Amino acid sequence: MAGKKLSFAIFGSNRQALETACIREVLDYLTKCEAQIFIEERFYENLCKVLNKKVQVSGVIKEEDFHTDYAISLGGDGTFLRAAGKVGAKKIPIIGVNMGRLGFLANVLPSEIKETLDDIYNGNFDIDERSVIKIESENGSIETYPYALNDISILKRDNASMITIHASIDGEYLVTYQADGLIVSTPTGSTAYSLSNGGPIIVPRGGILSLTPVAPHSLNIRPIVLSDDVEIRFEVESRSHNYLVAIDGRSETLEESTVLSIRKAPFVIRIVKRRTHSYFSTLRTKLMWGADLRK
């Protein structure tokens, strides 16, 4: 470890990360290594309250005003997605520590954090690059961060009637969905909201996207898998004259006349992968495949 001066940005789920000793272990370890430590502003404020003292760090992260060697996400997949949104195109590798339940993205256990940081300093890890998608509107009405690591969903509002979504691929009409919504998922997001609606599981770096309808009116409408180099265009009709767009869970209401397009983003999110972990092992564990088999 000698001679390596690294910097880390820490993002946390207040409820989960603050209730454990994990954040203290991380801070103690990084302080011992003389690393520069930057902590997300809200998480930092709550951490100081819990510890009843001012935590000594190199800086507090406000918005996207940081650049470090690594980022650490302490929480569940929701915290990881928020960290990924802050990292954006910075190419900073993210270490996801799982303090939630399922944890496909945040796959380092709290008990493994010291070993994982040892691996970082010793160069004993791999980088998993995950594709990102971007949404745009023809009238520029989308105000939230337009990039998604998991998925972008077009949904009806509250208890409104189902919506009608006309979908085109690279300018060619595909189909009209009458449904509660439609999910455009990356391979990373295929084990999230899309999976709960019957979408396919797609391995990382598969080079494809999936369209999965939410409660479609017709039984003939099924999920479809597309190459990720296409542009997907949507025109939406709604009896309430508006609809929701959810971008990795960040929702925004749009007017019915808003035409949307989704395509692959020009950057990837880089995830630190321990060499003792594998994607298929994670799938078997998280989805409990084989749990009903008798030896």
Beta carbons of 180 and 196 less than 8 angstroms apart = no
Q: How would you classify residue 251: left for phi > 0, otherwise alpha for psi between -120 and 50, otherwise beta?
A: beta
Counting every residue written for the chain, the total comes to: 295
Of the candidates 28, 69, 77, 180, the residue annotated as catalytic is 77
Q: What is the DSSP string of 54-103?
A: ----SEEE-TT----SEEEEEESHHHHHHHHHHHGGG---EEEEE-SSS-
Beta carbons of 22 and 54 less than 8 angstroms apart = no
Mark whether 229 is an active-site residue: no
- Measure the CA–CA gap between 202 and 66, rounded to whole angstroms: 32
Distance of CA 75 to the CA centre of its chain: 12
Which residues are CB-neighbours of 122 under 8 A, at least 6 positions away? 1
**Number of neighbouring beta carbons within 10 Å of residue 209:** 27
Q: What is the DSSP string of 195-252?
A: HHTTPPP--TT--EEEEEEES-SSTT---EEEETTS-EEEEEE-TTSEEEEEETTEEE
Residues annotated as catalytic (active site), given as ranges = 77
